Chain A
Amino acid sequence: MVLDSGRDAVKTIDVPYVAHLARLTLDDKEIRDFQGQLDQIVAYVKIIQQVDVSGVEPMAHAVQIRNVFRKDEERKGLDRDVVLANAPVHDGEQFLVPKIV
């Protein structure tokens, strides 16, 4: 996970901030609980910092497969009524959401 350079220095996870980014609403007790659990997880993952990785190129992917492409050829997608059937609100053509501006 890429963190802002300013955040790299933070030793513990800012749980309310991370919860907000994930659009999760946590109460005070949950924040305390997750704080402990997440700090534990981070501490565990930090073990890997003991390994000397200087000179090792960061991996972009776990498997060594490259260049998986498709040709620029059209295939039919889904019918609109099927697509809209799952929407909480629609007008028969478009999805409708609470006004966003």
Chain B
Amino acid sequence: MNYSATIGLEVHVQLATRTKMFCACNTDFGSPPNTHVCPVCLGYPGALPVINEEAVRLTVMTGLMLGSEINPFSKFDRKNYFYPDMPKNYQISQYDRPLCIGGAVAIEANGVAKTIPLTRIHLEEDVAKNMHVRNASSIDFNRAGHPLMEVVTEPELDSSEEAFAFLQALKQILLYGGISPCNLEEGNLRCDVNCSVRPAGQPALGVKTEIKNLNTFKGVFQSLQYEIKRQIAVLESGGTIVQETRRWETETGITESMRSKEAAHDYRYFPDPDLMPVVLSSEQIECWKALLPELPRQRCDRLVRQYSIPPYDARVLSADKAMADYFEEACRYYASSQATRSAHAVAPSAAAGDEKLAKTGPKAISNWLMTEMLRLLSEKGIDIDQAAIRPKALAELVRLAEAQVVNSNTAKDVFAALFEQGGDPELWVKQKGLVQVSDAGAIEAMVEKAMADHPGSVADFRAGKSAALQFLVGQVMRASKGKAHPQRVQELLKKKLTTTAN
């Protein structure tokens, strides 16, 4: 039998505020345990919380970016439960009046575009971090009280691929808006997943299970793949799904039952008497709306329009805000150097025949970013902000390649070197003596030497083995230490091999 899966996500996002949700403690990650704590986030009796205005703004900005309706009247409620990560014995959250209602995220999975509607976006406080040692659990309250925004989707995702695509699309938008650093290693994004299956065509949803506290997108993807298969197997064997909370075990790759819903918490939400409601005027919302950043899709369209690069390039570049920023900065340097182009100290004359091979500046910059840059970044496992080669240097490198000061292989070497240690490409090329040899006399001398040194290859070529030409080109390039103009070497070799043969 065929089954359909139905998935809903609750994504917890730590907001990029300097201080906590209800107190003035620092939110830096990685500080020594329990060094950013105060009476409020430790839940001391009588300590009073005060709302961080910036957390409200970031949540509303998110709602505006995702097309949510902003609740004109919003309030905070207490969610009551006992757990050592929550010293007040309640978490301050939002129950029936969240800051944002509805909204949607556009995704593309398996080549199909789809819009995933949101239920709501609300604001709450993060809880403390537990670590489990042999006989005890240790608690670090630095994280307790960090502003935590929860984005809740409608159960309208149909596959683990769609869930993965949703998280990527959401992360991209959050990064564009400066809402959260979205650093998964630091726990900035954590996810609860609801999932059920039902026979294809059956209108009523199946019984769902919840997988808690997934902190990687891969974990969401893999746990859903497992859970969908598991539920189908239970139904196929005549069993029933129990509504329960399950835990994803990364090591074993399975989900395990944590607790069943019958023993589920009764949170007894009620309005927090310590906190006043939040009432946002339409003027305030309009004012924030005016400051909305350009979103990934808008930027993608603009890159195509403004720089005449292919839509594919624009999509790759705009997928990462930092990458798109880098691209545009490099393009600005490129354009500003246009005027001084002829003043290049080491620029030899460019052969007219190669002009048509040269890409326009922005397209060349895009090519560098999509190939060499992305390859080296993933090799080193770093972000583009950490690459030593800065946009200005890339723009200059593109200029040098365009002006044929260096050939394309040398340019790649220069890129790799500057990627590691930064600096000015022109200076680097001069210091390392990498300026391309285009001088006809110099090339001719090397070509003649290669032919004299390898009479066998010369004979092979003349006997019809065209592959011998590439060998001879290689010999000349090696003799020039990679600096000879490859096309010119090839042309000259061909000419000499064919003419002297007659």
Contacts and interface: CB of A to CB of B under 8 A. Distances in A.
> Does B bind A?
yes
Interface of A: 1-4, 21, 23, 60-63, 65-75, 77-78, 80, 83-84, 89, 91, 93-101
B56 A96 contact: no
B273 A96 contact: no
A101 B137 contact: yes
Contacts of B18: 72-74
A61 B75 CA distance: 9
Interface stretch (B264-272, B311-319, B459-467): B264-272
A94 B24 contact: no
Interface residues of B, number: 54
B35 interface: yes
Chain A binding surface, main DSSP class? loop
B23 to A, nearest CB: 8
Contacts of A71: 53-54
Interface in B98-150: 130-133, 135-141
A78 B39 contact: yes
A7 B421 CA distance: 67
Interface of B: 17-19, 23-26, 32-39, 41-42, 50-56, 73, 75, 80, 82-84, 95, 97, 130-133, 135-141, 266, 268-271, 273, 275-279
A99 B84 CA distance: 10
A99 to B, nearest CB: 5
A84 B52 CA distance: 26
Contacts of A60: 73, 75, 97, 271, 277
26 contacts: A1-B268, A2-B268, A3-B268, A23-B82, A60-B73, A60-B75, A61-B273, A66-B276, A66-B278, A66-B279, A67-B276, A70-B24, A70-B52, A72-B19, A72-B52, A72-B53, A74-B24, A75-B24, A80-B32, A83-B42, A89-B136, A95-B34, A96-B136, A96-B139, A99-B136, A100-B83
B33 A73 contact: no
A69 B268 contact: no
The 7 closest A-B pairs by CB, nearest first: A77-B38, A75-B24, A72-B54, A94-B138, A69-B53, A95-B139, A60-B75
A60 B25 CA distance: 27
B356 to A, nearest CB: 55
A69 B75 CA distance: 13
Most chain B CB within 10 A, of A91, A98, A100, is at A100
B302 to A, nearest CB: 31
Nearest to B41: A77
A67 to B, nearest CB: 6
B407 to A, nearest CB: 52
A7 to B, nearest CB: 8
Contacts of A94: 33-34, 131, 138-140
B125 to A, nearest CB: 14
A96 B138 contact: yes
B136 A73 contact: no
B25 A98 contact: no
Nearest to B271: A60
B362 to A, nearest CB: 38
Given A2-B95, A94-B34, A69 B136 contact: no
Given A73-B24, A78-B38, A99-B136, 17 more contacts: A4-B266, A61-B271, A63-B276, A65-B276, A66-B276, A68-B275, A69-B51, A72-B53, A73-B18, A73-B19, A74-B18, A75-B19, A77-B25, A83-B37, A84-B34, A91-B138, A98-B137
Nearest to A98: B136
Contacts of A65: 276
Contacts of B82: 23
A1 B24 CA distance: 30
A13 to B, nearest CB: 13
A54 B26 CA distance: 46
Nearest to A84: B34
A83 B34 contact: yes
